[in-house]
Amino acid sequence: MDEQHLVEYACSERIATITLNRPDKLNAVSDEVVRALDAALNRFDLDPEAEVAILNGKGRAFSSGADVRQRQLRSREEFERLGGPQGRGANSADLLTRAINWKPVIAAVHGYVLGLALGLTLECDLIVAAAGTRFQLTETSRGLGASRYWALFQYRNAAAFGDEIALTGRFFTAEEAFAAGIINRVAPEGRHLDVARELAQQVAKNPPLSVRSTVRTRRWYMERLTREAQFIAAPFRLYLTEDFHEAALAFTEKRPPRPFKGR
């Protein structure tokens, strides 16, 4: 599938819909998907007909997270050259912090929201999840560390719940996320897009510049906190460790990882 079809864009009644379109891979996020998503978000940012966007995924899950084979099994030399698992120009942490017009984005998620997809969801301005949606911070068990995600949880005032998820990496549900104040709505199963559109319509009724000033302020504080957390964790270079390589390899080989070595 070529890059322009990995993410679909549509706009109706001032609301843009941005859809991850790799359902056969559970919308796993490769470098190409990040670039296609960046193009779609930029299109929305500059679209005079759109005031609010809804980000969602096609198929039975929002996203299984990073494409492990493509992003996490690179050679050591490539990791050192890139400074991490992401390809050049394909850092998902930049997707919502490089806007021009700062329009709000609502995440409408369902099925599974794992790893990178969890980070992207938490960065969105509002979040709707279908009942039964399962989230997981896979970076903890993969050996990449959860510093950035911990910061996103703290930014949303998840407090002790965020600490637990960052350190255990366990699955948690949409219902738990709502109770912890991480998401805005739990929608009936199959109706997450409808509920997100209702929320988008409420936002779109307001003067656009008023809304955008809040979005820009929110994302500035969010970016400052997450980048500070990443800066603190950067010297560990966890993407070069034996434990990370073993965890990624075990995932692709569908087996339990061998005992971790702390190196």
Beta 15-20 vs 7-12: how paired, if at all? antiparallel
Domain range enclosing 31 = 3-190+205-252
Strand order from edge to edge, sheet including 15-20? 7-12, 15-20, 52-57, 105-109, 126-130, 185-187
Indicate whether 20 belongs to any domain.
Answer: yes
Using one digit for the tens of pLDDT, what is the confidence trace for 214-256? 999 999 999 999 999 999 999 999 989 999 999 989 988 999 9
- How would DSSP label each residue in the chain? --HHHHEEEEEETTEEEEEE--GGGTT-B-HHHHHHHHHHHHHHHH-TT-SEEEEEESSS-SB--B-IIIIIS--HHHHHHHTSSSPTT--GGGTTSS-SS---EEEEE-SEEETHHHHHHHHSSEEEEETT-EEE-HHHHHTS--HHHHHHHHHTT-HHHHHHHHHH--EEEHHHHHHTTS-SEEEPTT-HHHHHHHHHHHHHTS-HHHHHHHHHHHHHHHHHHHHHHHHHHGGG-GGGSHHHHHHHHHHHTTSPPPPP---
State how far the Cα of 141 lies from the Cα of 147, in Å rounded to an integer: 13
Amino acid of residue 257: P
Q: How many CB atoms lie within 10 A of CB 258?
A: 12
Indicate whether 195 belongs to any domain.
Answer: no
- Per-residue pLDDT, averaged over 124-128, amounts to 98
Indicate whether 126 belongs to any domain.
Answer: yes
User: How many domains are contained in the chain?
Assistant: 1
| pLDDT more than 70, % of the chain | 98
Cα-to-chain-centroid distance, residue 88? 18
Q: How many CB atoms lie within 10 A of CB 111?
A: 20
Domain harbouring 178, CATH code:
3.90.226.10
State how far the Cα of 91 lies from the Cα of 48, in Å rounded to an integer: 26
Whether the per-residue pLDDT at 130 is higher than 80: the answer is yes
In the structure, what pLDDT confidence band is assigned to residue 88 with cuts at 50, 70 and 90?
confident
Give 254's contacts (C-beta < 8 A, 6+ positions apart): none
Give 24's contacts (C-beta < 8 A, 6+ positions apart): 59
Indicate whether 258 belongs to any domain.
Answer: no
Indicate whether 262 belongs to any domain.
Answer: no
Across the chain, mean pLDDT equals 94
Indicate whether 127 belongs to any domain.
Answer: yes
Indicate whether 257 belongs to any domain.
Answer: no
Instruction: Check residue 70 and give its pLDDT.
Output: 73
pTM: 0.93
Whether the per-residue pLDDT at 4 is higher than 70: the answer is no
Q: How many CB atoms lie within 10 A of CB 10?
A: 11
Residue 123: closest CA among 171, 91, 82: 91
